[in-house]
Amino acid sequence: MKKKTIISGLALLTAMIGLSTSQSQSAKAAAPDKTATVNYVKGYGIVTWRDVQTASSVTGHYLPTESQWLVNTTVTGADGQPWYLVGNNEWASSKYYDLGGENSVQDLDAVIKIEADVDSRGTETLLSAVGFRGNKATGRVYPNMEYKVQSRRLVRGEAWYELGKDQWLRASMATIKTEKSRGNKLISEPSFITNNQ
């Protein structure tokens, strides 16, 4: 009887530890992604600044496109937009970063080139909207062709380009070739970062 009670107690303790571990892993999985990925023209990078209130002190360091940085601190700069601390007193504008899970929109005056291997038919479908089920096909783009972009939208961290009215393309299907301007991001959900400086 004693041996059976000890074994039952150990089984219960093991189950409790397993439940506790799975709950802490679930909490970790639900935590917001603090990884910021530099989003700019491939082959180039974004400059970092020492003073975001006057934007007058460039560090001379450039962060390459697609590099990732852990962001724990943000401040509002003189431009009214968030700036991320990415190093030892080095700040970079949020409009050149994508945060994990971010929902945002920004104007983008650019030209993209469609990747060579978009799909088996050699075309990629443009959709009527992004982030929703039931999208309708509104057109097609073709490999190695270049198209003008009007705006860029992030839906749960996935980037889309607007090529025309109701014409959206997954950003992963193309590369930015040239860029004239990029507007400030309008984030539709509160950021996970708090103003703590």
| Residue 93 forms part of a structural domain | yes
Query: Measured on CA atoms in the order 63, 67, 72, 76, is the torsion positive or negative?
Result: positive
Number of domains composing the chain: 2
Q: Say if strands 174-182 and 104-114 run parallel, antiparallel, or are unpaired.
A: antiparallel
- Domain holding 1, by residue range, is 1-30
| Residue 196 forms part of a structural domain | no
Report pLDDT for 139: 79
- Which comes out higher in pLDDT, residue 31 or 173? 173
Task: Determine if residue 15 is left, alpha or beta; phi over 0 gives left, psi from -120 to 50 gives alpha, anything else beta.
Answer: alpha
Report pLDDT for 60: 87
Span 131-180, pLDDT tens digits? 555 567 777 888 889 999 999 999 888 899 999 888 888 898 899 999 99
* Mean pLDDT over the full length of the chain: 76
Report pLDDT for 123: 66
Q: Which two tokens stand for residue 40?
A: 């700019």
pTM: 0.69
Report pLDDT for 32: 55
